[in-house]
Amino acid sequence: MTLLRQPRVTGAGRIAGARRRGSTARRRATVVAYLFALPFIASFAVFMVFPVLASLGMSFTDFTNRDIQNPTSVNPVGFQQFSALLSNPQFLRSVLNTVYFVGVGIPLTMVIALALAVALNSGINRFRTAFRVGFFAPVVTSIVAVAVVWRFILQPDGLLNEALAAVGITGPNWLGDPAWAMPAMIMMAVWRSVGTLMVIFIAGLQNIPQEVLEAAEIDGAGRAQRFFRVTLPLMRPTLLLGAVLLSVGFLQFFEEPFVMTRGGPLDATLSISYFTYNQFGFGNFGLASAASYLLFVAIALLSLVQFRLFRSKD
């Protein structure tokens, strides 16, 4: 009689088998997860990744509206579109205008928003909610409607000049004078953007531990010392968030000059975004794509600078 001998399974064999079964289960779960995410991945690739890569590739070609019917006739030109931009006086004027708008508008908006946030967080007790709603209202208002209203306010015989005349000041032609057109744009952009930043700063102020402020007060720190040496350093992450959000919006400012000045007078309010829009309208798709990516680089560089300025020193 022959006895069949069963193979002996050692402890190491059982552990290896368990690992193989676990690995198979993980791979199966991963495949199922990707299958569930496949619709989103496909949509993201078609509607986000492909347009970005296509526009990037377009910036290295001479693609114009004449090539729409036959895209295979497009020729690669390397960095020629970028060099053409850097030698285009109108583009350089748009760069200077954008730098002016960003350089004045962002610090001014942050200072006013921080002052309002401090006042509404600790200095104003009555009608606090009404003030918050009032300052935030321009954020949720249509920019086109706001720009049309501001265009009437800034006319030579508009509401602002009438108010200045009441105190003996002759107001300028805000939108018709090249020297005053950009300050008018900045004034409107600050008014419109300050609400968002104010809400962010109020949230940052309310997250500061009161124990820290009380300890500073006990140590003899005055109100100004507590603000500059305790509150502001603790608000660095909040200030960074506000600065980055604001810079992205300010570097792409377009609606205000589009509705109010059409980039004039004499290109005084022509921004990089408006220049890019015009080039797309003229059919210079390659040149417009190159301008878009130069603006992207500018936004990235400004964000890096802000990260360096507002990063935590802990």
Residue 202 tokens read as 């109020």
| pLDDT tens-digit readout, 186-239 | 998 898 889 889 889 988 998 888 888 888 888 888 888 888 888 888 888 899
DSSP string, 204-242: HHHTS-HHHHHHHHHTT--HHHHIIIIIHHHTHHHHHHH
Query: How far from chain centre, in Å, is Cα 242?
Result: 9
Distance CA 118, CA 213 (A): 14
Residue 89: pLDDT over 70: yes
Q: Please enumerate in sequence order all residues whose Cβ is within 8 A of that of 79, keeping only pairs 6 or more positions apart, or say none.
A: 60
Q: Is 300 left (phi over 0), alpha (psi -120 to 50) or beta?
A: alpha
Q: 61 in helix, strand or coil?
A: strand
**Is the pLDDT score of 65 beyond 80?**
yes
Q: 67 and 75 in contact (C-beta within 8 Å)?
A: no
**Cα(40)–Cα(34) distance, integer angstroms:** 10
Give the residue extent of every domain in the chain. Answer: 89-310
Query: How sure is the predictor about 1, in pLDDT bands with cuts at 50, 70 and 90?
Result: very low
Q: Average pLDDT for residues 278-304, to the nearest whole number?
A: 90
Binning pLDDT at 50, 70 and 90, where does residue 102 land?
very high
Q: pLDDT tens, 5-19?
A: 555 556 677 777 777
Alpha carbon distance 231, 227 (integer Å): 5
- Strand, helix or coil at 76? strand
C-alpha distances in Å from residue 210, one per residue of 23, 60, 217, 218: 51, 55, 11, 12
Dump pLDDT digits (tens) for 108-138. Answer: 999 999 998 888 887 666 667 777 777 777 7
Q: Indicate the CATH number of 89-310 among 1.10.3720.10, 1.25.40.10, 3.30.465.10, 3.40.50.2000.
A: 1.10.3720.10
**How far apart are the C-alpha atoms of 27 and 40, rounded to whole Å?**
20
The distance of Cα 49 from the centroid of its chain, to the nearest Å, equals: 20
**Two structure tokens written together for 88:** 């285009």
Confidence of residue 107 (pLDDT cuts 50, 70, 90): very high
